[in-house]
Structure 1
Amino acid sequence: MLSAARVLSRSGSSKSSVLLSRNSRPSHPPSIPTIPWRSPFSTLDSPNAATEVPDFDDTFRAYGNKSTAELLRSYVVFQLCSFPIIVRNANQLYNISSSLLPSSLVDGIIKRTFFAHFCGGETTSDLKPCINMLNASGINGILDYAAENAPDESPNEGYDSDDNQPARVYDYVSERECDHHVEVFKQCITAVKDVTPRGFAALKLTALGNPILLERLSVAIIETRKLFEDFDRNGDGVVSVEEFGEAYREIFVDAEEKLPGLLARLDPKGTGQVDYVEWSKLLQPDDLPRLVASCREEGPLSKATPTPEELELMKAMKNRLWEIANLAQELNVRLLIDAEQTYYQPAIDNYVIELQKEFNSKSRLKNPDVPIIFNTYQCYLRDSTSRVRLDLLRASRSNYIFAAKLVRGAYMLAERDRSEKMSYPDPIHPTASATHECYNSCVNLLLEDRVLNSTKNEIMIASHNRESVELAISKVQELGIDQKSGALHFAQLLGMRDDLSFSLGAAGFNAYKYVPYGKVKEVMPYLIRRAQENSDITKGMGEELKGIAGELKRRFF
């Protein structure tokens, strides 16, 4: 017998994270049904497509467009970045230098060295020369306003020690800043249209809403997932209508009134079963106040339910996001929604899924085969593969084009530090090899789904890992996908892994450079975090140095 107390009155004194499912449950979403096979494997994007293999060892191709002065600057920058003590303490070194020397001097030095190497400029009007250089080599731009807006937080701050919920404190100054960021992102979208029409604009949701609100919303989403897991007694990912009715009656007081209509919406085809896709489609965070009002007992689901104030703030965040997406659609500019920390990600995913339903639907797209909204999946997370499968199924059910950017992840140190301090399981794969395996399997999964199910799904390989790039190219060859189709894109950061980017562009692949821009003080935290968190980048620096040295040797000797 499933008791309401067990479901709704979990211990509030535990130090376990709000992200942690019960000990008896897996920490990933419920089992995902298999996506239906809709066409034979031989149905290819282009049966006669020939794929040119890039030569990643051609240093002239990668660095030949750079002046000798630029190469020397790059060599010095990478040499400095190869010292772990400098990378680890970069933020402190920057702050100390700024306190001892005139900030204009410090920023001027950085602007002519690190900033010039890794960034496209301070404003959108500065970007044209950089983009023109990339376009000349077959590379398009991803414009990224790189100011970071996440709070400076400790894992123990912002939580109520009694119920382990994020504190409900909102700074209305930040709301005004979020309104300002809407205009900044709209300028970015307009700049993409003007300077790199085949490019993308990158978007960070913590710039459009209070991060505390995103965390609170994420908790609410996780609690609704846990509620489904309680209904799913045998853990197979589906709930029979009989199981659902029995569990609902034990938890809620209005079963006789609400249950028939609820089941009709959860099982519209009368299959006799409810799965997590239908559950999550129907039960959104703004539905929770009505739901918990009929709970027999108060518990974590009630505590996670948004307040009226939070519902208004959520509405404001959604309005900002939709204002940006509407402009992107109007100008036919595509948006890459960045992944962020795990305690924000469920809320971010929820917003992105709603965006994709609306803006990636064939009825809304200007080009019915080209999706506008891309979500980002961090493959260093243990649940990333199950999330990709779940979202593929969502797209199939709701008839919109799935589009994903795959990264390894950019918050490893912070995530592990937080999980240790808050005593919940590390959400990240235990080894780099496990992350690589997850990344490559997600690439294969998405490319195979495009062919096997005749979809127009798109994938961006945002990676500095040469092996992953080569495996993706090999998979494209195996499946017969036209390299010039929209199936596959490759992206690297500006100033890094030019051996990959320029070789891919020369071979006719859809190659992109992430081009951060913003004032030096705004961009420095972003660049420091990239260097500190991304193991692929620091590993790739050795290969970069070797390639630059080879090109300098070719020129001088």
Structure 2
Amino acid sequence: MLGSRVHLSLPLLSVLRQMGTTAARTVTAAREPELLSATLAFEDPKAFQVKTMGELLRALGVFRLCSFPLLVNNCGTLMSIARRLLGKRGFSLFVRPTVYAQFVAGENETEIFHSMQKMSLLGLRPMLAVPIEEDLGESTGEKRYENNMEAMLECVHISHSNAWSKDPMMQLKVTALLSPELCVKLTTLMAQKPYDLNELIRAMDGEPISFHGLDEKENAHLLCGLRRLNKIAEASVNKVRVLVDAEYTYMNPALSLVTMAMMKKFNKNDAWIWNTYQCYLKESKSLILEAISLSKKEGFCLGVKLVRGAYMDKERKLAQKEGRHDPIHNSWEDTNDSYNGSLNAMLEVISEQPERYKIIVATHNEASVRVAAQRMVELGIRKDGGSVCFGQLLGMCDHVSLTLAKEGYVIYKSVPYGSVDDTLPYLVRRAQENRTVLQGIRKERDLLRQELHRRLKHKMGTA
């Protein structure tokens, strides 16, 4: 799908898919780790000893609310009603100490600093995320995109200027800088005729390229968007690793196109720009293998954020509406095989060239975390080498995050920040997109309760 003149032959794709199948079988054989620390069973409530009593109670309350599908599915509407009834100030007073405090670092640099400092003391690394994204019909013009660029440049500055952790990361949404409508059109055009990565790079450098299939206005907007992306990449290279998020299948090829162009330009000696791969998609394993092949051919370093995916319901409904094949795997087991197979493909190239390939195993799935840790042992990949790290969302899956940190693995938490109004749409989308995860956090709730009971018992005994 992507390349210098981005096109892979069918025979090569066939070979890549066979490689992916082999990788999946290799990982399947390694599903029962034998060489790992017993703590990676993630069964010990002591992981929560670092939390205050207030944090334990808040987490238990928020997770309990998130366990009700009716509340999660309608949280956007319910929050809008609450905001109207309570007013802006009253709503903020209600949300700030609860859901906001659980999942958001803060509004200003001082609040963010305190949150990140505490996280750093626990051995966790922040991966800041500006909660800005757009979908079809939400585009608001060049001025908004320029403002979004300034917000992301500020994110680079905050990530780099504060010594919270070694090797800082941040997340970036392309649709905050380039209209979703244009990304969809580029995706359609790419299927007809591939774009040249070198042309995109020249456009990033300011050359007035005319891209095929676009009218004058669309071309001008693309040039502006590429220059915005270029400016952020220039500011972040040698300072902060930028992880570009995947979004919907109807625009992902375009997002990957511009991300690969950025990789080719800026990832000459290290992976500063990373791409995200959603393993609930049937094509994900092929895309990972294609990216590995392309990185070798074009001579750039490859950074991969590996996720299961967050847009399953919408993707399926859209495919059904348009009469297309469902792009999502048919079962949870297939998705797991896809994730573990893609993971293994990356770990194998990392074991050969750890300086040129990097991955963040971004998952709340304990089994996949153990698979990754086991394969690291088998392939001789260091825990703290920086080529393999793990990631979870702020406020979720802390029993996994804290245990990994204690065991010496590199672990990041995805950290959104901003005002209540700015982060509310982000929180609503994340809650709805991750409701299967939110409803499946019974184990974390049980561990939190065990730690709470231990403390209460200790206090009563002391008294």
TM interval, short-chain normalised: 0.7 to 0.9
Query: How far is the alpha carbon of 1:314 from its aligned partner?
Result: 0.7
Match of 2:225 in 1: 317
1:355 is aligned to 2:340: no
Of 87, 100, 104, the residue aligned with 1:119 is: 104
Of 435, 446, 462, the residue aligned with 2:362 is: 462
Q: Are the structure 2 counterparts of residues 472 and 53 from structure 1 closer, same or farther at C-alpha, using a change threshold of 3 Å?
A: farther
Distance 1:175 1:284 in 2: 19
Match of 2:13 in 1: 31
SS in structure 1 of the partner of residue 389 of structure 2: strand
Moved more, 189-198 or 459-468: 189-198
Paired residues for 1:144-543 under 5 Å: 144-151=129-136, 173-195=140-162, 196-198=164-166, 199-224=168-193, 305-329=213-237, 332-362=239-269, 370-452=270-352, 456-534=356-434, 537-543=437-443
Deviations 1:420-474 (A, max 9, x none): 2222111111112211111111111110122246763001011000000011001
Of 40, 45, 62, the residue aligned with 1:59 is: 45
> Is this contact kept in 2: 1:218–1:346, CA < 8 A?
yes
Letter in 2 for 1:338: D
Query: How far is the alpha carbon of 1:129 from its aligned partner?
Result: 1.2
Distance 1:54 1:552 in 2: 20
SS in structure 1 of the partner of residue 415 of structure 2: strand
Q: Are the structure 2 counterparts of residues 478 and 315 from structure 1 closer, same or farther at C-alpha, using a change threshold of 3 Å?
A: same
Q: Which protein shows a greater Rg?
A: 1
Q: Hey, which bits of structure 1, 4+ residues long, moved more than 3 A?
A: 32-35, 50-55, 279-286, 289-292, 452-455
Distance 2:112 2:352 in 1: 40
The structure in which a higher percent of residues are helix is: 2
Q: Are the structure 2 counterparts of residues 75 and 395 from structure 1 closer, same or farther at C-alpha, using a change threshold of 3 Å?
A: same
Query: How far is the alpha carbon of 1:482 from its aligned partner?
Result: 0.9
Distance 1:454 1:496 in 2: 29
1:93 is aligned to 2:96: no
SS in structure 2 of the partner of residue 489 of structure 1: strand
Letter in 1 for 2:115: C
Deviations 1:3-56 (A, max 9, x none): xxxxxxxxxxxxxxxx9xxxxxxxx99716559x9xxxxxxxxxxxx9766442
Distance 1:470 1:444 in 2: 12
> Is this contact kept in 2: 1:124–1:517, CA < 8 A?
no
Deviations 1:515-551 (A, max 9, x none): 1111212212222222222255225421111111011
Query: How far is the alpha carbon of 1:307 from its aligned partner?
Result: 1.4
> Is this contact kept in 1: 2:276–2:305, CA < 8 A?
yes
SS in structure 2 of the partner of residue 417 of structure 1: helix
1:551 is aligned to 2:451: yes
Distance 1:464 1:420 in 2: 29
Letter in 2 for 1:176: K
Deviations 1:492-525 (A, max 9, x none): 0011000111111111111111111112122122
Q: Are the structure 2 counterparts of residues 547 and 99 from structure 1 closer, same or farther at C-alpha, using a change threshold of 3 Å?
A: same
Q: Are the structure 2 counterparts of residues 281 and 202 from structure 1 closer, same or farther at C-alpha, using a change threshold of 3 Å?
A: closer
TM-score under structure 2 normalisation? 0.86
Distance 1:491 1:440 in 2: 15
Q: Are the structure 2 counterparts of residues 393 and 95 from structure 1 closer, same or farther at C-alpha, using a change threshold of 3 Å?
A: same
> Is this contact kept in 2: 1:224–1:283, CA < 8 A?
no
Q: Are the structure 2 counterparts of residues 54 and 359 from structure 1 closer, same or farther at C-alpha, using a change threshold of 3 Å?
A: farther
Letter in 2 for 1:373: I
Distance 2:352 2:56 in 1: 45
SS in structure 1 of the partner of residue 193 of structure 2: helix
Q: Are the structure 2 counterparts of residues 291 and 390 from structure 1 closer, same or farther at C-alpha, using a change threshold of 3 Å?
A: same
Match of 1:237 in 2: none
> Is this contact kept in 1: 2:198–2:261, CA < 8 A?
no
> Is this contact kept in 2: 1:59–1:548, CA < 8 A?
yes
Distance 1:536 1:223 in 2: 37
Distance 1:72 1:283 in 2: 54
Deviations 1:359-381 (A, max 9, x none): 1102xxxxxxx411110001111
> Is this contact kept in 2: 1:179–1:208, CA < 8 A?
yes
Match of 1:79 in 2: 64
> Is this contact kept in 1: 2:245–2:276, CA < 8 A?
yes
> Is this contact kept in 1: 2:281–2:328, CA < 8 A?
yes
Gaps of 5+ in 2: 2-9, 20-34, 204-208, 458-463
